[in-house]
Amino acid sequence: MIILIQCRDRVGLVAGISGVLAELQLNITSMREYVAVSDDRFYMRVATATSTNEKRLETALKKVLPDNAEITIHINPDKKIIVLVTKEYHCLSDILIRNYFKTLNASVQCVIGNHNVLKDICNRFEVPFHYISHEDKSKEDFERLLSDQIRKYAFDYIVLAKFMRILSPAFVANFQGSIINIHHSFLPAFIGANPYRQAFERGVKVIGATAHFVTNDLDEGPIIVQQTINVNHTHTTADMVKAGKEIETLVLATALKLALEDRVFIYGNKTVVFE
């Protein structure tokens, strides 16, 4: 069982929470906490080897926590995800392989693409693929069809695995805090399209990738994971693209592992990540 708590900070929170868990005979296997001093905000993730009635636990915790504390309890930590794609396969294929071998800590409910290019690989892994073209449609109509298809499934997260469409504020608001994107750049550098060409023309010595939650501000949502690799003057734009795809795959996989294991808290435009 996973217990997530965020609330206003005060003295004695850890002792109070531990006391409740002991009283309910919950064996703690992992406990991580963090206080954002500037915001006076407390965050905790607790994993237990045993479980109990969720309502009973929540009621007991509320008695020792400040008012308006946010408590999330997952008896079964396995998650469900929906993946959105365009044409690039590298991130999707990694997700499908992990899903097939049950190492993703989630199940892929479906893949939705605005091109039909990746249907075959989804068929091979027996994952439903839905094609919704953005062509000959207004942005509003396209996103309405996309939302309708998404809502046919139960899910915890929507993963943009190289989904090359800018989503409207209205769409993002409907799925606030549940959309994870992989950006082909070490943000905030090279926002938008063609980041590797931008990096090549700038003569940078490192390139990277960023996994973040999607907000109304393009490529500026709360960051989950970032990584970089070294490049030099011998790297062409094509070399950077190839290296970039590898690090994008790794960064997205790392971010998904953290999110799917309930190790990420969002506060403001930042995250607390219990790695």
Q: Which residues contact 206 (CB under 8 A, 6 or more apart)?
A: 186, 228, 229, 230, 231
Q: Tell me the torsion sign for CA atoms 222, 83, 141, 177.
A: negative
Whole-Å CA distances, 273 to 45, 75, 148, 163, 253: 10, 21, 32, 25, 15
Angle of helix 90-100 versus helix 237-260 axis, rounded to 10: 40
Single-letter amino acid, residue 204: V
Catalytic-residue membership of 219: yes
CA 159/CA 108 separation, integer angstroms: 10
Pairing relationship of beta strands 106-113 and 79-85 according to DSSP bridges? parallel
- Candidate list 67, 219, 239, 262, residue with the active-site label: 219
- For residue 124, how far is the Cα from the chain centroid? 25
Q: Give long-range contacts, CB 8 A cutoff, 24+ apart: 193-198.
A: 195/244, 196/237, 196/240, 196/241, 196/244, 197/237
- Annotated catalytic residues are 219
